[in-house]
A and B are shown apart, each in its own frame.
Chain A
Amino acid sequence: NAGVTQTPKFRVLKTGQSMTLLCAQDMNHEYMYWYRQDPGMGLRLIHYSVGEGTTAKGEVPDGYNVSRLKKQNFLLGLESAAPSQTSVYFCASSYGVTLESGANVLTFGAGSRLTVL
């Protein structure tokens, strides 16, 4: 009963290094999302996916790439990390809007704290 799992939970990078954050969900959700959370700015959507093999840009996509090769996984990549990308990153997944709820109810992972020096 894992839900949404993010790895790693913590990472420190030097400017210019690359890394990948992995999000895995075991709920057979179609939709997956990557958000970043910064103090005083709430959560901002980076990229999202509405199904295996699809990706779309969110509010703040620059400097990030994503891939959804398998339905259960959504990867967030930083090709050349910058100090401005220091943040807490949250992954979420959902079925999309359901007839039952009329809402797109997201399940969130525990977050990944990234520091870029």
Chain B
Amino acid sequence: GIQVEQSPPDLILQEGANSTLRCNFSDSVNNLQWFHQNPWGQLINLFYIPSGTKQNGRLSATTVATERYSLLYISSSQTTDSGVYFCAVDPFPYTDKLIFGTGTRLQVFP
């Protein structure tokens, strides 16, 4: 089956710093999503982005489907950005099930 790998596994930042999280996938996908899991365990969808670039406030994401990777940018990080970031892919052909990556744990200190 498709493999989804994320890097780095852990990231420690001071408030105000910028960061880039990477997601590599081993096969073609219909779609790709980024999730944030807060320290209380709740999973929230940030973006669905099969290709191109999207921005939402301090967060933006870029997917290059032909090269099988996606990047999540966090600018001017805040302590509330702490948690685990997952990418998840909907493998091609269309399967109705999301396969998650291993996650990047982000800690932002004041």
Contact = CB atoms under 8 A, between A and B. Distances in A.
A binds B: yes
Interface of A: 31, 33, 35, 40-45, 48, 50, 58-59, 88, 90, 92, 96-97, 101-106, 108, 110-111
B17 to A, nearest CB: 24
Nearest to B48: A103
A41 B3 CA distance: 12
Given A42-B86, A59-B99, A90 B48 contact: no
Contacts of A50: 96
A63 to B, nearest CB: 19
Interface of B: 1, 4, 6, 9, 30-31, 33, 41-43, 45, 48, 50, 86, 88, 90, 94, 96-103
Contacts of B41: 88, 110-111
